[in-house]
Structure 1
Amino acid sequence: MQAAVARPPLLRWLRSILPGATEHRSGGAGGPGGVPAINQLYHARRLRLVRLAVLMVDDLGTAEDIVQDVFAALHRRHGPELRTLADPDAYLTTGVLNAARSALRRRRTARAYVPPPAGTAPAAEDEALLGEQDREVLSALRELTVRQRQVVVLRYWSELSEREIAEALHISPGTVKSTASRALTILRGLLGGHR
């Protein structure tokens, strides 16, 4: 009972945000077999589909874009007369729901994205104390993947064994060996004759 009481205010609100929003039903058959042509279908169903999309994405502009995209896809796929489509209304409703879900996924992904923290720049005196070869090595290390850089630093700077590196990084000793080998090949290519 309570849901029936809550429904009219929602419909009034939807009609208030969609100027001229009145429910249209296609009265005539526009295409063969009673299927309306796409322009008739657009005029008859667009507002209802926009309302549906607004309920899904809670944004009128996005909802209108979704409906436009679904109608454009319908036209590309079936042409203006819709002769090959048995139930265009079901096609449109499904298309709007799927597009709204995709928009919500993109929105959720965008909100969840946290940009990586800005790298800490070395102090000016640290840069001044480095020689040209040291700067080249550090630059080459930045070209490695995170895992490769970890393995190289732990092996050649911290002087850990393959077993110790494997335990520290929670990988197998074989992975340590192959990662180190690939990293060294990349570093040799980047550094050329310098060592």
Structure 2
Amino acid sequence: MFQQGDELALSYFYHEFLPALSLYANKWIEDFSIAEEISSGAFLKAWKMHEKLDSYNAIRAYLYKIVYRDAMHYLRKEKRRNSVEEAVAVPDISFNSPYDHLIRTETYRLIHSALKELTPGSQRVIKMYYLEGKSSVEIAEELNVTPGTVRNQKKQGLAMLREKIKENFLFHIWSFFIFLYSA
């Protein structure tokens, strides 16, 4: 019945598997509401594939596979989000001088400026990966390219960012010290 698109079958599987799938996801996520959300999302994905799921075991296996994959994706996304937040976090201290604020502002400006200098492909991949938290596979699907292309664009983009930031940062630090000592 599920394979034919019967909504009663979907409801049956939802009530049958949601509690177990949520506990399964919670093993990794350790936040039951998020685990339940991931599990609920698995049913939507299974429903889109209902024509290919021809047995009880196929449906169950597909649901567990999707929950595992989505839980791992969530953890990777959280890890990336946390590392990006830590990298760009402004310490919770008051500025000791106008120079502290100037340096911090200039650093953010340099990063933003360096991002604009990347090729459009690398720029898009860097933003999707680091700011939106998407995986290389998701980016590849969205941009209709291979995951290898995504990895190459990310690698090239990061190398260019490092170089641009290093060049500009050293120049601005040198200028800043000249300004300080000439005042």
- For normalisation by structure 2, the TM-score amounts to 0.46
Larger RCO (CA within 8 A; separation ≥ 6): 2
Between Structure 1 and Structure 2, whose CA radius of gyration is higher? 1
Using the size of structure 1 for normalisation, the TM-score is: 0.43
User: Would you tell me which structure has more helix in proportion to its own residues?
Assistant: 2
